[in-house]
Structure 1
Amino acid sequence: MSTLSTFHLFPSLPVEIRLKIWSLLLSIPRSVRCTQNIISHAAPRVIKVWDTDTPSPPLLHVNRESRYEALAVYAPYFATPSNPRPIYLSLPQDVVRFTDGLLPYIPDGPLNEIQHMITDTKDCAYFGYYHMGTLKSMKKLRELEIYAEKGLVYGGDDTDRFINLLVSEFEDAMEADPGWECPKVRIVDAQTGKDLRFIEGGAKIPGWVPEE
């Protein structure tokens, strides 16, 4: 039995059915790795060219109808004056992946909208020290996966100590700001894919704000 790879009658389908098919395809989450090609060395340091090896959403390029529907789901991010070509993302559903060194350079647009994020770190003992402020500023972040690589401090004989230190930094941040909606955090061994720790997240005191 041959496999159908092309459906030539698709344009003849009723518009309601075509739109339903586009909608189903557009509801599939993507995992998008964002990288940088060029970073300025003059202060303040900024990323001049963002890049990704993840293909653009295909429905942006099928035809005019699919592109119209896709642009209602995907928005352009990470364009810069040096590279105006954007990375199209649906931040309510897509998982965006960065190395932890890029977190301070994420532009305000995606920083305020990302809900699902993966970050790769080689230095989990200092991850919270350098990046907790950025995470707390990501008001819509709901799920975070940290892939801990065997690098500067993780990978010796005292692995649990450094993972526990990372967990304690999240716990300390939640104690210091009980109203912070901490994302659900999953810490993963980057080499094996094994789950190392899980933090349930949420606010200790929902709605709490510091006294002025």
Structure 2
Amino acid sequence: MDTKTGSSSSTDATMPPSEFTLFPQLPLELRLKVWGFALTEPRIVKISCKKGFTDIGRRITEYFICHNPTHPILHVNQEARFEGLTTYSYVPFFQTTSSDRYTYINFDYDIIRCPASVLEYLGPAEIKAMRKMVLEVGDAAYFGHFHMDTIVRMKNLEELELLSEHGLVYGWDKNRDVLVERLTNDFQGARFEDPGWRCPRVSIVNIKTGGVAGVIEGGPLLEGWKIGDDYPEDLV
């Protein structure tokens, strides 16, 4: 009992500690497990880019902008940083020749979120490594025209979420969801063009409500089919 306030100090004794000062004394194996648990927690990493022009007027990305801080574990101490950069392969991505900026990413765990317009500026390293992605779609009518080629080149992309920036778009028939139809047709068209393409699982989401408006199940239409093979008659 606190003689000045009359309150009990037993509550403080049951409060969980905010620090664990004995952590450095734990066996190395346990410390590495703790770092590993923290390093494999999925993150949504928001990326945008600063666009510019070359001397001859060609559009380029001057640099990419990451709107998340660097993974905090990489700043704890040398042991944690070494574990993150080696065992868990956090490496620099989103680099350009005109800037020394970069972002540490592990595509096994990190989900990249960006405007769809950023796709055309991604480099070969990002296109090859991308596994999970969230795209903010500003204009569904031209999404396929501008972006499907890049998505098809992402051979390791497993999951893709498309966020409708302006909500769902409806035509004269209120029972038809034009936005979902357009986006679905873009992906189906790419699949019929290359039946062997391993399409990611695609979710079409209303950015205002968070509701899922449509889903395209992933996978190829014809396992093992390659460009140059006879086109399957049942897909004609």
Using structure 1 for the length normalisation, give the TM-score.
0.93
Residue 22 of structure 1: how far off its partner (Å): 0.9
User: 2:131 is matched with which residue: 115, 124, 127?
Assistant: 115
Q: Distance in 2 between matches of 1:121 and 1:191?
A: 13
Residue 136 of structure 1: how far off its partner (Å): 0.4
1:187 aligns with 2:215: no
Q: Distance in 2 between matches of 1:122 and 1:155?
A: 12
1:169 aligns with 2:183: no
1:34 aligns with 2:58: no
Identity of aligned residues (%): 36
Could you say which residue in structure 2 is the equivalent of 1:68?
82
1:9 aligns with 2:9: no
Unaligned runs of 5+ in 2: 1-13, 230-236
Q: Distance in 2 between matches of 1:174 and 1:50?
A: 31
User: 1:134 is matched with which residue: 150, 153, 156?
Assistant: 150
1:160-198, CA deviations, whole angstroms, 9 ceiling, x for partnerless residues?
Answer: 123212101111111111000000000000111110000
Q: Distance in 2 between matches of 1:135 and 1:81?
A: 23
User: 2:220 is matched with which residue: 179, 203, 207?
Assistant: 203
Q: Distance in 2 between matches of 1:157 and 1:172?
A: 21
Matches within 5 A, 1:141-160: 141-150=157-166, 155=169, 157=171, 160=177
Amino acid at match of 2:126: P
- Cα RMSD over matched residues? 1.6
Unaligned runs of 5+ in 1: none
Which structure is larger by alpha-carbon Rg, 1 or 2?
2
Q: Which runs of 4+ in 1 moved over 6 A?
A: none
User: 1:24 is matched with which residue: 37, 40, 58?
Assistant: 37
Contact 2:45 2:68 (8 Å CA) reproduced: yes
Q: Distance in 2 between matches of 1:210 and 1:137?
A: 14
Q: Distance in 1 between matches of 2:41 and 2:119?
A: 25
Contact 2:169 2:178 (8 Å CA) reproduced: no
Contact 2:169 2:177 (8 Å CA) reproduced: no
Contact 1:91 1:116 (8 Å CA) reproduced: yes
- Worse-superposed segment, 79-88 or 97-106: 79-88
Amino acid at match of 2:139: D
Q: What is the aligned length?
A: 209
1:130-162, CA deviations, whole angstroms, 9 ceiling, x for partnerless residues?
Answer: 1110000111101000001217xx545557123
Matches within 5 A, 1:48-127: 48-72=62-86, 73=88, 74-127=90-143
Contact 1:60 1:67 (8 Å CA) reproduced: yes
